[in-house]
Structure 1
Amino acid sequence: MHSNKEIFVTAFALFSLFFGAGNLILPPLLGFQAGGLWWLVALGFCLSAVLIPIFGILAHAKLQGTIFDFGKKVSPTFSLVYSILIYAISVSLPSPRTAAVTHEIAIDPFFGSSPWYTSIVYFALVFLFVINRSKILSIIGKLLTPAIIIILLLIIGVALFSHDFAFGITIFDSPFTDGILEGYQTFDAIGAVVVGGVIIVSINIKKKDAPYEEKKTLIRRAGWLAGLGLFLIYAGLIITGALMHGEFDAGISRTALLSGISTKTLGGTANLFLSILVSLACFTTAVGIVTGTADFVKHRFRDSQQAYLITALIGCVLGVVMGQFNVDYIIAVALPALMFLYPITIVLILLNVVPERFAAPKVFKAVVIATCIFSIPDFMGSVGFPLFPKGGTFSWIPLQDYSMGWVLPALVVFVVSNLNTTPQKKV
């Protein structure tokens, strides 16, 4: 049996895995724009940014594998292509976004320097840490998360007790689905698939003699506890943004709002401290993404150290190029890729969580194909070429007008393909 201490330690490790500093800039603006419907936005955001990622960890606990294992029931070729796309997106968007967040929160307000300088220095340091695989970052990471959590709880607490519960008018037509789509930008479901296996491996090392079911129970309880922590922080930041609707300009950026809220609640010194912590946390995230991508390529090229170095260099060069753009631009650029890859990631996570009898290879193939097909209109719409305009022929498909037209087709195909799949007899 596992103790409460083991559950809390594992829960904290999982919390730290998902609690990226870049994610902190998303909830406050959601609340700021949601007005009195902040709670609907919070539910939607936490569905895609908390619940699905935790399911991803549970899927890893079941599979005991890597990102490649998530899609292998569709086909090895699909799984390889999916893995390559995920890693390519990771080094091209969320990794550079950490540099942009660092510049906007910690560099520009105090030095006013060019974002080019920030991203060049930032990714030069990332490259040095990646090729040296220093353990310093893991030690720093263990201290960063608790410090950031304490400051955030203080910000949320001060906001709740110093503001009247009066909210503005929402700008969202559908707060719940808008919250879900903004949750895509956390990349947490992708994070669960990519690096969730690291947590599972470490648990297996520490409890190598424990029965499989005992380890699975530990991960499940810790997962739900970590999810509760994420929900409280995200919901707290969303309501904080909603309470401060009248204190900032409507067109304020995500990073400026987080800094502004921090200054108004705790003062300039605390905001400076938060800026430093967020920057360090962003840096550890970037190093983790580039290292993970380089490790993947190294493994595909028979443990070639040269492949590792070249991938790390390419990842850092991409980081410099993309990292000099502002955060809101990077988020806008990421949207089309997320509109296509996130639904696929969600269905792969859910298919790997459901009982084996409902997840035969035939079911995997059918559901993933349906999801891919019905994600194309959402992808095209996000780049300005809607295939199914609002109010058009295909508006009868539930959620089609909200860029989530894949949900019902995937569910229908899941049910139908299971009805037409003969259960395998045990030999």
Structure 2
Amino acid sequence: MLKTKEALVTAFALFSLFFGAGNLILPPLLGFKSGELWWLVAIGFCLSAVFVPILGILAYAKLQGTIFDFGKKVSPTFSLVYSLLVYAISISLPSPRTASVTHEIAIAPFFQTSSLLTSIVYFILVFIFVLNRSKILSIIGKLLTPAIILILLLIIGCTIFSFDISFGNTVFTNPFTGGILEGYQTFDAIGAVVVGGVIIVSINIRHHSLPYDNKKALIRKAGWWAGLGLLLIYSGLIFTGSLMHGQFDADVSRTALLSGISIKTLGNTANMFLSVLVSLACFTTAVGIVTGTADFMQHLFKGSKQAYLLTAITGCVLGVIMGQFNVGYIIAVALPALMFIYPITIILILLNVVPTQLASPIVFRAVVITTIIFSIPDFLGAIPSLALKEGAFSFIPLQQYSMGWVLPALAVFILANGVAKKQMNK
């Protein structure tokens, strides 16, 4: 009974970790655009936004380490650069996005104030909480997630039973890869690498006498349960969005669609309640990101309090600068960075999950370097100002789907294992 209870508690913690309020705005619009192929889009989205992040937690269970351990087989220098890059992206994009979501969902519909003012006040409060590390956040977090889940389940249920099961036409050329790439915007795979270790540390503290295999089994069970919960919620929201094809304008924004669906299904009062909950959940996410980044820099500079303070200030200033822009703009700005860092993160997670004999240092180096090289065209192609000639990298398999790194990484993984095996047999 204790094992089941612990697995459920851990699963709920993992669910809360990944189910960021900013992620709520992604699935409904994805479904709205996917039409009758919503299920194919949902599979792609859940592959990159659920399956890979959960594998990241399983990798942590195996490693029992930190973010440095994910890339240490490549080299210590690579691991440090990768860690710095991931944290830099985290405080520059997903953290400010929480302020933007808060403004568009909870402030703009009710108050005639600027997004800059919202962003300034928002990150002043974030800075205060980061410095004080208030336990109120963890208490609020435990209450927020169940409340948001309950409202979302009501929205999904009301939609299914109140609206006709009919679909529009999809706007995606390739719905499956469209879903995968939109899943990048959840930042959940990066989240697994950045803060997944918190779960491992918590389990080690609470169950320090528990054998390694038992801890790993506990995390594995909790990981799959959390993944199932995410799969159901994300799929339900995508399906809900797909049924709304005739209810909103084709150019509706992500935040407007989420608010509109909640009004149509639950009414204005529930929408206001959802707005408050989403805003608070966004706030806890921003505090968590800035605090985690500041902790990392403090550890890097041998416990320096000045490093912690400067990082917190930098994170909040970046939040004010980026947070004043609308959600759509931040998502567009994030795309090039995600097209580069996400494939590397996915590969590091997969290499740390596969059996150790298939992931020697030689294999790690070869596959990661290959992924970096073949992610560059996707990175360049996502920068509009470069105006690359269409089809410039079409000779790379799957490049037209922004997945040009997949087959080269797989081929090098097989070849590198063959080389490693020959070296062992000599």
The TM-score by the shorter chain falls in which range?
over 0.9
Q: Work out the CA distance in 1 between the residues paired with 2:6 and 2:212.
A: 16
Q: Work out the CA distance in 2 between the residues paired with 1:7 and 1:398.
A: 41
In structure 2, the partner of 1:254 is 254
In structure 2, the partner of 1:389 is 390
Deviations 1:159-183 (A, max 9, x none): 0011111100000000000000000
- Offset, 1:387: 5.8
Q: Work out the CA distance in 2 between the residues paired with 1:387 and 1:99.
A: 33
Q: Give the number of equivalent residue pairs.
A: 424
> Is 1:235 aligned to residue 235 of structure 2?
yes
Q: Work out the CA distance in 2 between the residues paired with 1:255 and 1:296.
A: 32
Give the 5 Å matches for 1:329-368: 329-368=329-368
In structure 1, the partner of 2:414 is 415
- Offset, 1:423: 7.7
In structure 2, the partner of 1:291 is 291
- Whether the aligned pair in 1 keeps the contact of 2:165 and 2:243 (CA below 8 Å) is yes
Q: Work out the CA distance in 2 between the residues paired with 1:144 and 1:423.
A: 54
Deviations 1:369-392 (A, max 9, x none): 0000000000010003476733x6
For residue 85 of structure 1, what is the amino acid of its counterpart? L
- Offset, 1:275: 0.2
In structure 2, the partner of 1:130 is 130
Alignment root-mean-square deviation, CA? 1.4
In structure 2, the partner of 1:153 is 153
For residue 330 of structure 1, what is the amino acid of its counterpart? I
Where do 5+ consecutive residues of structure 1 fail to align? none
Q: Work out the CA distance in 1 between the residues paired with 2:409 and 2:390.
A: 21
In structure 2, the partner of 1:404 is 403
- Whether the aligned pair in 2 keeps the contact of 1:297 and 1:307 (CA below 8 Å) is yes
- Offset, 1:396: 4.8
Q: Work out the CA distance in 1 between the residues paired with 2:60 and 2:422.
A: 24
Deviations 1:297-354 (A, max 9, x none): 1111110001100110010000000000000000000000000000000000000000
- Whether the aligned pair in 2 keeps the contact of 1:377 and 1:386 (CA below 8 Å) is no
Percent of pairs identical after alignment? Answer: 76
In structure 1, the partner of 2:29 is 29
Q: Work out the CA distance in 2 between the residues paired with 1:177 and 1:334.
A: 18
- Whether the aligned pair in 2 keeps the contact of 1:357 and 1:423 (CA below 8 Å) is no
For residue 223 of structure 1, what is the amino acid of its counterpart? G
In structure 2, the partner of 1:265 is 265
For residue 369 of structure 2, what is the amino acid of its counterpart? I
Give the 5 Å matches for 1:14-163: 14-163=14-163
Partner of 1:157: helix, strand, or coil?
helix
Q: Work out the CA distance in 2 between the residues paired with 1:215 and 1:177.
A: 35
Partner of 2:52: helix, strand, or coil?
helix
Q: Work out the CA distance in 1 between the residues paired with 2:128 and 2:173.
A: 46
For residue 401 of structure 2, what is the amino acid of its counterpart? Y
Give the 5 Å matches for 1:195-214: 195-214=195-214
Q: Work out the CA distance in 2 between the residues paired with 1:397 and 1:41.
A: 23
Partner of 1:151: helix, strand, or coil?
helix
Q: Work out the CA distance in 1 between the residues paired with 2:345 and 2:389.
A: 23
For residue 37 of structure 1, what is the amino acid of its counterpart? L
Partner of 1:416: helix, strand, or coil?
helix
- Offset, 1:207: 1.2
Structure 2 length-normalised TM = 0.98
Q: Work out the CA distance in 1 between the residues paired with 2:133 and 2:27.
A: 32
Q: Work out the CA distance in 1 between the residues paired with 2:10 and 2:352.
A: 21
Partner of 1:240: helix, strand, or coil?
helix
Structure 1 length-normalised TM = 0.97
Q: Work out the CA distance in 2 between the residues paired with 1:10 and 1:423.
A: 42
> Is 1:376 aligned to residue 376 of structure 2?
yes
- Offset, 1:3: 2.4
